[in-house]
Amino acid sequence: MSEQSVSQIEFNKSKIFCNGRFKVSLSYIGEGYDGDYDKNNKSDNPLLRFDIEEMIEGEWEAVENTSYCTQLTAFISTDQAQRALDHLAFHLGDCLINGQYKRQCEIISCLSIEDV
Q: How many domains does the chain have?
A: 1
Write down the pTM of the prediction. Answer: 0.88
Mean pLDDT by groups of 10 residues along the chain of 116 residues: 53 93 95 91 94 97 96 93 96 95 95 90
Single out the residue of 17, 28, 31, 12 nearest to residue 87, CA to CA: 17
At residue 93, the pLDDT reads 96
Asked if residue 116 belongs to a domain, the reply is no
Alpha helices (runs of H) in 16-77, residue ranges in sequence order: none
At residue 3, the pLDDT reads 44
Asked if residue 55 belongs to a domain, the reply is yes
Single out the residue of 110, 113, 91 nearest to residue 101, CA to CA: 91
106: domain range? Answer: 3-111
Asked if residue 105 belongs to a domain, the reply is yes
For the chain, the straight-line distance linking the first and the last C-alpha, in angstroms and rounded, comes to 24
At residue 71, the pLDDT reads 95
